[in-house]
Structure 1
Amino acid sequence: MDKYSRLIISLLLAVLMGAVDSTIVLLALPTITDNLKTELSASIWIILIYLLVIAVGTTQLGRLGDIIARKNIFILGISIFTIGSALCGASANIDELISFRLIQGIGTSMVQSNSGAIIADNFQPNKRGRVYGYTSVGYNAGAMLGIVLGGIITTFIGWRYIFYINVPIGIFAIYYGIKYINRSEPVSNKLDLPGMASLGSALILISYAAVDISTYGIRTFNMVLIGIGIVMVMFMIYIETRVKKPLLPLKVFRIKILSYSLFASFFQSLGFLAVVFIIIMYLQGIRGLTPFDSALLLLPGYLIGSVLGPYFGKLADRIGSRIPATVGLLMMAVSILIYTTLTVNSSLYIILIASAITGTGSSMFYPANNSAVMANSPKELYGMSSGFLRTLANIGMLGSFVISISIASLSVPRSVAFEVFAGVGKLVGGVSLSFMVGIHYSLYVSMVITLIGAILSFSRGREERKAIETMAKT
């Protein structure tokens, strides 16, 4: 095994752990809630705090990698994540667990915001697509793998081991990273702490309001929170026009391929990641499957995506990202359309077919789009571009949570839909028929959002990887 293969292993292990832990708690949530004697509305923050920290942290920690050296931040991130995992497993109460998940999120955001830039540092532009194909396995299949692992480990070993399992893997990833990742030269950059603070405040307020809506329905309190959150977003935009080093320099938007690729990633996450939550609600709440069996039914499609990702990444290296990424998003939209045919008595083979199409589409989109972002980013902005790519994807994931809960529960009490999502409730009789209406509404919204991503992906224009490589050498 050569040096570059070991480098890929280090990157893959690191991003896989972070992605797995974004969902591994999902099926363990009822067990954790019962074991720690807490309320479901409190334990849901075990999931949300992790996603929030990543969404906010990736805006600046990629830039910190530019300043200090990406290898240092990447290794430190794996170390913090590993320590946070051990602490999570040893938590005595819900407050400790939420706090230690925050520590996990800090480590993950360090890894996610620098991994793409590390690939750009170590591989030529016409070779990166294949490597992004491998790491896309970690980012995307990892989230689905987390659901399955959460069910297996919680059922047969105990919920604490969904965190303890990260410790030996983290130590191995640290060793490989120290030994095989090249040290990048620090470049001049500056953190945008006011922008990060305003973005973080906005996301926290809106997320808290979403949980409140899911539990109690629409009321003055959560509407006020959303309103303040929107004001904070506007305040962030105001700040960004006046700081020297904003979250995303405006000159980046002059690079058409880069900016369109970033926003294609956002709309893909916003639209499609909600589908996973929606289909799990369907399988658990209407078809009566256990959370574990529901996850297993979706797994084959994600395995397909994991296998095909490197091959489509290599294709993007040859022909550019526009066609593979756009076709991938269109395939995801087709799979959502297939899901809209589900009824209370549909054959479960529909799930397998749609999931297989999803896996193929994701294996085309992720490596091609990630490669386009880094291949078209100026070298001095590698860390920023890598971090902002993950930021948009993680904000999209948070938005997907809101979509899957809020829209799918239009025709039943939101508290009921929330319990179904968390795996502690099921629907029967006429209530299940009403819930199907909400599920279809949510799927249609997700399909439209995904198609917007496809339009942006196609509109990015044509890129010439050979030309980029020539520019990189001159």
Structure 2
Amino acid sequence: MREYFMDKRNIILAIVMLGTMMAAVDSTVVILALPVIVQDLHTDFFTAIWVIILYIFVVLVLTTQLGRVGDKVGRDKVYNWGFVVFTIGSALCGASPNIGSLITFRGIQSLGGAMMQSTGGAVIADNFPPNERGKAYGFTSIGWNVGAMLGIILGGIITTFIGWRYIFYINIPIGIVASILSFKFIRAKEVTEGRFDIPGTVLLASSLSLISYGAADIAGEGLVLKNEIMILVGLIVFIGFLFVEKRVKNPIIDFSVFQNRVLTYSLFASFFQSLGYLSVAFIIIMYLQGVRGLTPFQASLLLVPGYVIASLIAPFTGRLSDKIGSRIPATLGMGLMIIAIFLYISIATGINTPLIDIIFASLVGGIGSSFFYPANNSAIMANARRGIYGGVSGLQRTLSNMGLLLSYVLAITISSLTVPRYVAFEVFLGTYNGKIPAQFITGIHSALVLGAIILFVGLVLSALRGKEVRSNLASPTS
């Protein structure tokens, strides 16, 4: 037993799990604390929502570039220092005196998150052979689910009984321990040669920034000329980026990866899963707090079972994908998440439906995520060429985070189309004093139905990806 825990690969896996857990804790804990942050810092919902959106925004813009940086200067350097930056950012967030500083420090924290997210998958691929990566990604999925579960539990308890600032402080002891272990054990297997693609980096960052900010602005102001122009210009800049990338020797995105069908379909399945499902927890929590009047702690308890079951199942589903391939487990997972959305729709029909039904829906969704994430992540890295692990890992995180950002934008925008925007924001915050408009419940249903439709697109891509042959892929050197 001692030899198992002292095995270097298992230590590295535990470190990546810790990094994944930190990111997951911070994502769920902020959702629960948002209403309290608004009241304590004397701000409004649209300003406060940037505490969530900016994190996603920065990670989205930087992951592909940082993945490539990791390939060239060493994935260990990018990943290890990511822990340090994330921990410092967390401490600063907790000490923020106002909403402006909180959003600023959240940007620092998100830089650390981007450094870890862009290279974490590549670190696993560096140290585990293709026929064992499903199991490894299953354990990192445990890190995500345990982190999300801890975020919800601790977020509910801390926000209700102690104060929202401590939701950021809980990252500090984890970050210190993880940083020490990471610098000691994680070493880059190799680096690739070639110059940085500075023009491509500038164009891609500019394009994603314009599109992301424009999309986020829609959530707060609706569709207006300003955000329409930003998105249009962003798309034009992206076309310019594609034109440049076709003509440089060391492009940020190696477009040859899209010649592999399994890899391409797996990447876009990840995008549609994020786009369709990752705002569901946000919608349900705001429903429970805003419409049903639950405290953060009460709302958290209803969602915990889904994360618990996902944590228990993920290693087994990851091992299953190692044996039979990723297509069946990932597609099954998508299907279960669609079922979970329709269960949530049936629950959010008013203010008197049994809350215990939330637990059942969260269990179905948790089982679905435990099938999808390990299998899909394993398929992506198993079909990436060894020299571009970091680039592919960063590309996956970029697509996932683009889906996550747009998921929040769609959820907020669609659910508030049927009522005045100020009413929707007050309901989200639990500060609306009048009778909840029936149209608002209809808006929540519409947002959830759209999520199910988007997930179905991802399910089709997952089913059509084909079966990868991992025995033909090279194993990493020890």
TM-score over 0.5 for the pair = yes
Tell me the equivalent position of 2:6: 2
Q: Deviation digits for residues 204-233 of structure 1, max 9, x if unmatched? A: 444444454444444333333333344344
Q: Deviation digits for residues 287-345 of structure 1, max 9, x if unmatched? A: 22223322221111111111111110011111111110111111111111222223113
Alignment of 1:389-400 (within 5 A): 389-400=396-407
Q: Does the 8 Å contact 1:60/1:192 carry over to 2?
A: no
Specify every segment of 5 or more residues in structure 2 that has no aligned partner in the other structure, as ranges.
none
1:102 is aligned with what amino acid?
A: G
RMSD: 2.2
1:273 is aligned with what amino acid?
A: L
The partner residue of 1:263 within 260, 268, 272 is: 268
- Residue 468 (structure 1) aligned with residue 473 (structure 2): yes
Q: Does the 8 Å contact 1:405/1:414 carry over to 2?
A: no
The partner residue of 2:336 within 320, 324, 331 is: 331
The partner residue of 1:425 within 414, 431, 439 is: 431
Name the CA shift for 1:311/1:427 in 2 (closer, same or farther; >3 Å). farther
The partner residue of 2:456 within 451, 454, 466 is: 451
Q: Deviation digits for residues 37-59 of structure 1, max 9, x if unmatched? A: 33433222222211111111111
* Alpha-carbon distance in structure 2 between the residues aligned to 1:287 and 1:158: 22
* Secondary structure of the corresponding residue to residue 37 of structure 1: coil
Tell me the equivalent position of 1:59: 64
Q: Does the 8 Å contact 1:284/1:426 carry over to 2?
A: no
* TM-score normalised to structure 2 length: 0.92
Tell me the equivalent position of 1:222: 227
Moved more, 456-465 or 379-388: 456-465
Tell me the equivalent position of 1:96: 101
Tell me the equivalent position of 2:46: 41
Tell me the equivalent position of 2:385: 378
Tell me the equivalent position of 1:347: 354
Tell me the equivalent position of 2:189: 184
Name the CA shift for 1:83/1:472 in 2 (closer, same or farther; >3 Å). closer
* Alpha-carbon distance in structure 1 between the residues aligned to 2:76 and 2:365: 33
Name the CA shift for 1:39/1:426 in 2 (closer, same or farther; >3 Å). closer
* Alpha-carbon distance in structure 1 between the residues aligned to 2:147 and 2:198: 30
Q: 1:189 Cα shift?
A: 4.5
* Alpha-carbon distance in structure 2 between the residues aligned to 1:133 and 1:107: 23
* Alpha-carbon distance in structure 2 between the residues aligned to 1:334 and 1:45: 30
The partner residue of 2:20 within 6, 15, 22 is: 15
Q: Deviation digits for residues 390-430 of structure 1, max 9, x if unmatched? A: 11111111011011101112211223223333x34347646
Q: Does the 8 Å contact 1:214/1:414 carry over to 2?
A: no
Name the CA shift for 1:97/1:286 in 2 (closer, same or farther; >3 Å). closer
Tell me the equivalent position of 1:387: 394
Q: 1:62 Cα shift?
A: 1.2
Q: 1:359 Cα shift?
A: 0.6
Q: Does the 8 Å contact 1:297/1:352 carry over to 2?
A: yes
1:425 is aligned with what amino acid?
A: T
Moved more, 239-248 or 449-458: 239-248
Q: Does the 8 Å contact 1:127/1:314 carry over to 2?
A: yes
Q: Deviation digits for residues 341-373 of structure 1, max 9, x if unmatched? A: 231132223222211111111000000000011
* TM-score normalised to structure 1 length: 0.93
- Residue 245 (structure 1) aligned with residue 250 (structure 2): yes
Alignment of 1:165-204 (within 5 A): 165-204=170-209
Moved more, 339-348 or 167-176: 339-348
* Alpha-carbon distance in structure 1 between the residues aligned to 2:291 and 2:64: 39
Q: Does the 8 Å contact 2:53/2:216 carry over to 1?
A: no
Q: Deviation digits for residues 239-296 of structure 1, max 9, x if unmatched? A: 4334433332111110111111000000000001122122223222332222332222
Q: 1:25 Cα shift?
A: 2.0
* Alpha-carbon distance in structure 1 between the residues aligned to 2:39 and 2:362: 32
The partner residue of 1:287 within 288, 292, 305 is: 292
* Alpha-carbon distance in structure 2 between the residues aligned to 1:417 and 1:191: 45
* Secondary structure of the corresponding residue to residue 279 of structure 2: helix
Percent identical among aligned pairs is 51
Q: Does the 8 Å contact 2:302/2:356 carry over to 1?
A: no
Matched pairs, number: 470
Specify every segment of 5 or more residues in structure 1 that has no aligned partner in the other structure, as ranges.
none
Q: Does the 8 Å contact 2:326/2:378 carry over to 1?
A: yes
Q: 1:20 Cα shift?
A: 1.9
